[in-house]
Structure 1
Amino acid sequence: MQLKSFVATAIFAQGIHAAAVLRFGCSEVVVERLDPLVNPGVNPSPHVHQVTGGNAFASSVALSDVSQIANCTTCSFSEDLSNYWTANLYFKARNGSYKRVPQIPNRFLDGEVGGMTVYYTSAYDNSKVTAFKPGFRMLAGDVNQRAPGGITKWNAICFRCYNAPNFGGDNQAPCADKTVDSVTLPAKACPGGIRTTIRFPTCWDGKNLDSPDHKTHVSYPASGTFETSGPCPSTHPVKLPQLMFEIIWDTTAFNDKSTWPADGSQPFVLSMGDSTGYGQHGDYIFGWKGDALQKAMDSSCFGATCNQLKSQSFADANKCAVPDTVQEKINGWITELPGM
């Protein structure tokens, strides 16, 4: 399926036109136990993250303009030096050992290494959205969530079980098809792997670039969702672009149920020890150069091509890296989750 027809089906399923949809890949810049948002200055932090974007990522990132600190990015838009990170997925074998599940690029991205697809979407009703400001950061989800609730009420986090190779069953908007989508990790073997999507809050208080919990300065719509043009609450009146992560795990090497737990329970666990999936979360530090993101949101940019932005090949993007300062084994078979 071509990019435009796929996004038109998946993102515009409700028949509403969005002025701009940036949809681009970011390779991994490092995989390690660091979290400058929730655990600043802590090395190592409690659990493993896969990180993409600019090379300013470290145990602490200054509360300033990140685009002035980083000098390269793993994202295909070279003006985006932001950092995006999520928990990793591990397979827990019947014998109790763990192995990190590889991440694979979206079908439309040629040359991305691991990483994720990043979306920035302007308002579906064509109302004004205000791009994030230098120093802005936020968190979506709750690492401690283990039961129904949290931000799933806004369709903010879900998992898709691809029902066939080559992204089989991927023909509806994220979290929209209950035959392949769930708010928990799938309880069955997925022939084409597992995708997770994380949608971030789209309303801002207009004042604070961060908050102690990295959440209260932003909000989801007061009613409805961003896709249904739900209004922002009066406490958070500034409408932001919708930021969404899309991560695809190739679980196909682990679909032999003879290696699953003896009780038949699903064998995958997020890197903070969560086997439910409710604790899935995403972290964001804004780092676009100047007003590049605002220009893109004010235009009709679509996909990974935008005349208002500078692009780079993945051959160049993949040269960007951050040194692994934690230096521990996170790949191959290990006896316990790192940090757990």
Structure 2
Amino acid sequence: MFFKHANGTYKRVPIMQNTALPNGINGGMTVYYTQQDFNSNGNQKITSFKPGFRMVVGNPTTNSLSAGKGNVGLKFVCLENKGTRFPELADFPTKPCKGGIMTVHHFPACWDGKNLDSPDHQSHMYNTGKEAFQNAGPCPASHPVRMPQVAYETLWDTTQFNNMWPKDGSQPFTLSYGDNKGYGTHADYLFGWKGDSLQRAMDHSCMFNACENGRPLKSQAVAAMNRCSIKKMVNEDTGDTWIKAMPGHVM
């Protein structure tokens, strides 16, 4: 996400750590793997993804609010603080947000049981959820296999730009592919867990700290988390300072 200044320059919006996580984490996206909801598996078998599985939620070509609302798992939240979760919006907030902006990408959890992918990366999955984190209904006969409910939460620290909002009320934020409405927000998922570790986690009704220390997963210290990062591969300013155009866009 980038902020466009009134003078036409851009700056990349930094990511901040989520609420209820240990202090000192260098930003990052929170990835949830839940069963039925945050508390139980709904007395149903949750089948782990298979090697080679992938899916996409949303579409970067979506260009209308009505189409954006069709993706129930894609939301923006104008944060009062890191714990704010409502109201959920289908597009960018239209005013400065006291605590930043959160994006939610909630994937479908019903699989057709056959295909690890599909031409549109979506048809092999089916979403029965009416809202992002509400209990999902039963899977249909066409997609009978209940899989983990995957969701991404990204908290953008937009607070440094709150006093720079355009006086004409125009939207100053834009996603990296040029979407300044937010309708086309989307996310990819590629399964990469080792062995049967995800299946073991889904076989237990555990959330947050109850899953750590071998019950059934191991936890990682903050320092180790921060070391696990991808080094910068492009030798240019990608928005750490004010730049004339977003990376990949013509000036």
TM > 0.5: yes
CA distance in 2, matches of 1:325, 1:193: 28
Alpha-carbon distance between aligned partners in 1 of 2:5 and 2:200, rounded to the nearest angstrom: 48
Distance 1:99 1:296, change over 3 A: same
Kindly indicate whether the alpha-carbon contact (under 8 Å) linking 2:36 and 2:135 is maintained by their aligned counterparts in 1. Answer: no
Kept in 1: contact 2:68–2:91 (CA 8 A): no
Is this contact kept in 2: 1:105–1:113, CA < 8 A?
Answer: yes
Residue 245 (structure 1) aligns with? 152
Change (3 A) 1:203 1:314: same
2:103 to 173, 188, 196: 196
* Ranges in structure 2 where 5+ consecutive residues have no aligned partner: none
Alignment partner for residue 264 of structure 1, among 146, 169, 178?
Answer: 169
Distance (whole Å) between structure 2 residues aligned to residue 232 and residue 107 of structure 1: 31
Partner of 1:81: none
Q: Does 1:279 align with 2:196?
A: no
State the alpha-carbon separation in 2 of the partners of residues 289 and 261 from structure 1.
Answer: 47
Q: Report if aligned partners of 1:116, 1:245 keep a CA contact under 8 Å in 2.
A: yes
What is the root-mean-square deviation of aligned Cα atoms in Å?
A: 2.0
Find out whether 1:114 has 2:27 as its counterpart. Answer: yes
Residue in structure 1 matched with residue 206 of structure 2 by the alignment: 301
The verdict on how the C-alpha distance between 1:153 and 1:128 changes in structure 2, with shifts beyond 3 A counting, is: farther
The alpha-carbon deviation at position 154 of structure 1 amounts to: 5.6
Q: Distance in 2 between matches of 1:298 and 1:149?
A: 38
Deviations 1:76-106 (A, max 9, x none): xxxxxxxxxxxxx110010111000110001
Task: Decide whether the 8 Å contact of 2:76 with 2:92 is kept in 1.
Answer: yes
3-state SS of paired residue (1:135): coil
% same residue: 50
Q: Partner of 1:289 in structure 2?
A: 194
Q: Counterparts of 2:226 and 2:69 in 1: how far apart (Å)? A: 33
Residue 315 of structure 1 aligns with which residue?
223
- Rounded Cα–Cα distance in structure 1 between residues aligned with 2:231 and 2:165: 34
Q: 1:304 to 1:329 in 2, by over 3 A?
A: farther
Deviations 1:229-287 (A, max 9, x none): 3122322111111100011011111011xx33352212111111111111111111111
Q: Match for 1:210 among 99, 117, 142?
A: 117
1:167 aligns with 2:76: no
Cross-structure match for 2:248: 339
1:247 is paired with a residue whose SS is: strand
Q: Normalising by the residue count of structure 1, what TM-score does the alignment of the two structures yield?
A: 0.66
Please list the CA deviations of residues 27-63 of structure 1 after superposition, one character each: whole Å capped at 9, or x if unmatched: xxxxxxxxxxxxxxxxxxxxxxxxxxxxxxxxxxxxx
CA contact (8 A) 1:205 1:235 kept: yes
Q: How much has 1:321 moved relative to structure 2?
A: 3.0
Instruction: Give yes or no for the alignment of 1:141 onto 2:58.
Output: yes
